[in-house]
């Protein structure tokens, strides 16, 4: 499983990558707008922070020609291990095909149906990003959509991976992981919640108490 962080906040990225096995960072126009900074300096700071991990950055152009120009600017001004995110609009599919011809790595995004994912995969994209919570919000069963996409890709021998996105809780993360997606992108709040459990904290407290009762407070194995 590849874990990506769905944020453009440098402090959150730094903290998360120190702790967890992060494969990269995903952004979109909404996410970058939250940082209220110049776009390219922000993306270059993220690149510097994550090194050669994946950075998924989204085009904002409306036409295929504009999307290609956005992609070229991202490649030239940010570069590195970059994935160009393209929404699955008709112009987007056109852009995905052209970007793949030109050798870009591409993530098809804003996916709500298995049909959209299958079309994008046939454009040759590297990742497809279905929006789990937004699908759940329209009673579309995000987990079923992921299940259908992974099944379709397997049946049609397509190498495209599923990068599940848009999560509001841990149950959604567990469900799509079981449904066979290869990657998830989650906000920092969900990542930290995924790692924690109050019973884990209680267990660790009990270990400390028992150890200190016999070996002394603050004693460590390395200084016995």
Q: Interface residues with ligand G3P (CB under 6 A)?
A: 6, 26, 28, 31, 131, 133-134, 165-166, 185
Tokens found for residue 176: 């799509």
Instruction: Please state the closest distance from residue 56 (CB atom) to ligand G3P, in A.
Output: 8
Whether 87 and 94 have beta carbons less than 8 Å apart is answered as no
Residues designated as active site:
85
**In angstroms, rounded to a whole number, what is the distance separating the alpha carbons of residues 36 and 52?**
25
**In angstroms, rounded to a whole number, what is the distance separating the alpha carbons of residues 166 and 181?**
14
**In angstroms, rounded to a whole number, what is the distance separating the alpha carbons of residues 69 and 82?**
15
Nearer to ligand G3P, 134 or 211 (CB): 134
Instruction: Please state the closest distance from residue 219 (CB atom) to ligand G3P, in A.
Output: 45
- Residue 22: partners with Cβ closer than 8 Å, 6 or more residues away: 3, 4, 5, 13, 16, 50, 53
**In angstroms, rounded to a whole number, what is the distance separating the alpha carbons of residues 145 and 153?**
12
Instruction: Please state the closest distance from residue 3 (CB atom) to ligand G3P, in A.
Output: 13
Nearer to ligand G3P, 144 or 200 (CB): 144
**In angstroms, rounded to a whole number, what is the distance separating the alpha carbons of residues 129 and 164?**
5
Instruction: Please state the closest distance from residue 205 (CB atom) to ligand G3P, in A.
Output: 34
Whether 179 and 151 have beta carbons less than 8 Å apart is answered as no
């Amino acid at each position: 499983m590849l874990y990506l962080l769905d944020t453009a906040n440098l402090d959150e990225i730094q903290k998360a990558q120190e702790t967890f096995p992060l494969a990269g960072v995903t952004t979109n126009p909404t996410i970058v707008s939250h940082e209220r900074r110049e776009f390219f300096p922000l993306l270059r700071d993220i690149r510097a922070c994550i090194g050669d991990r994946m950075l998924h950055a989204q085009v904002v152009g409306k036409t295929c020609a504009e999307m290609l120009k956005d992609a070229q600017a991202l490649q030239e001004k940010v570069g590195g291990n970059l994935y160009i995110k393209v929404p699955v609009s008709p112009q987007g599919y056109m852009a995905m095909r052209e970007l793949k011809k030109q050798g870009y790595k591409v993530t098809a995004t804003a996916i709500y149906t298995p049909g959209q994912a299958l079309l994008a995969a046939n454009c040759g994209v590297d990742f497809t990003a279905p929006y789990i919570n937004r699908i759940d919000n329209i009673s579309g069963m995000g987990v079923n959509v992921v299940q259908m996409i992974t099944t379709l890709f397997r049946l049609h021998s397509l190498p495209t991976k599923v990068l599940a996105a848009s999560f509001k809780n841990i149950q959604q993360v567990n469900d799509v992981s079981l449904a066979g997606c290869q990657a998830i992108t989650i906000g920092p709040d969900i990542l930290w919640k995924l790692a924690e459990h109050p019973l884990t904290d209680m267990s660790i407290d009990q270990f400390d108490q028992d150890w200190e009762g016999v070996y002394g407070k603050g004693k460590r194995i390395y200084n016995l």
